[in-house]
Amino acid sequence: MAFTLSTTKTFTNINCSNTPSNITTFKPLKLPLFWPWQKVKMGPLSVSPMGFGTWAWGNQLLWGYQTSMDDQLQQAFELALQNGINLFDTADSYGTGRLNGQSERLLGKFIKDSQVLKGKQNEVVVATKFAAYPWRLTSGQFVNACRASLDRLQIDQLGIGQLHWSTANYAPLQELVLWDGLVAMYEKGLVRAVGVSNYGPQQLVKIHDYLKTRGVPLCSAQLQFSLLSMGKEQLEIKSICDELGIRLISYSPLGLGMLTGKYSSSKLPTGPRSLLFRQILPGLEPLLLAQREIAEKRGKTMPQVAINWCICKGTVPIPGIKSVRNVEDNLGALGWKLTNDEQLQLEYAAKESPKSMIQNIFQTR
């Protein structure tokens, strides 16, 4: 079954089980949300101005994942593809307990079975992150980790191979081994580009310079960057990225859900997030009020405003998706732009809010 949007584009939405009874019609989206063929550069790659994260896929502890959700996740993936999203971020450590690696496995299955791609699977840019586990002590072990990810993803080459975090704070001797591992997987053609995650300004410059001497360009840097995480260090990292030609990828652009407007001190999420929300949410009223005001004026949602702010700052946000509804709402962050005054209003309100996001424990200087 097909639906025609407000432009000449027609999309077919099919549940990937390939049985007629499972054909699913998604709610029509209002275009123009975003012209998906207008990509942004990320090193040698062309990616959509927003990607999607898959941290929740397989994570039972924080996100309540169950295998019964897989069909919904696949439908969400297909809808994202139909609307031009081609960047998907994952990690070899995503998935709790026996489900370790589940995010990569699901993403690989969805790519292989996609009704949208139909033989064009190489158009998807998969960015995966490799954990700096203490037993990964040689570059060869890091290359083996890359090969294991490729097996789970059922692909021959990654778009971006990324260091999940730096060990400079606690195992500085391991750090150079990890960098050499990135070089090795790039030279072997296992990845089209390399990137880092949770690197502070000093380490970011160091790895950029080291990789440059090895003839390997640093393509991207992931950072917790949002209206809840826009402090001096984040802005310094953004400036370094701009200067060195590194694309900044914003993870947690919605502050784990705190910027969605769905929660309050009396309405908290279940699980471990509730502890963090209870600590931070009471001080977010100025920011949430500014978000809501702009959203109502624009005919947008609060999450769309928060994600659009990240895009306006020149970053590529990767909000997580767990459902078709997530995809539909997040797509509404594209195809428009906050004015300079609206950006300043949000940033002033963020500074007026006494609490900010707790930074990743692996973030380096």
Structure-token match 């989206």, residue found:
29
Q: Give the separation between CA 273 and CA 270, rounded to whole angstroms.
A: 7
Angle between helices 70-82 and 324-331 (to 10 degrees): 30
Report yes or no: 197 and 162 within 8 Å, Cβ to Cβ: yes
Per the annotation, the verdict on 94 as an active-site residue is: yes
Asked whether the bond before 32 is cis by omega within 30 degrees of 0, the reply is: yes
3-state secondary structure the chain: CEEECCCCCEEECECCCCCHHHECCCCCCCCCCCCCCCCEEECCEEECCCCEECCCCCCHHHHCCCHHHHHHHHHHHHHHHHCCCCEEEEECCCCCHHHCCHHHHHHHHHHHHCCCCCCCHHHCEEEEEECCCCCCCCHHHHHHHHHHHHHHHCCCCEEEEEECCCCCCCCHHHHHHHHHHHHHHHHCCCEEEEEEECCCHHHHHHHHHHHHHCCCCEEEEEEECECCECCHHHHHHHHHHHHHCCEEEEECCCHHHCCCCCCECCECCCCCHHHHHHHHHHHCHHHHHHHHHHHHHHCCCHHHHHHHHHHHCCCEECCECCCHHHHHHHHCCCCCCCCHHHHHHHHHHHHHCCCCCCCCCCCCC
Angle between helices 302-312 and 340-352 (to 10 degrees): 110
- The set of catalytic residues is 94
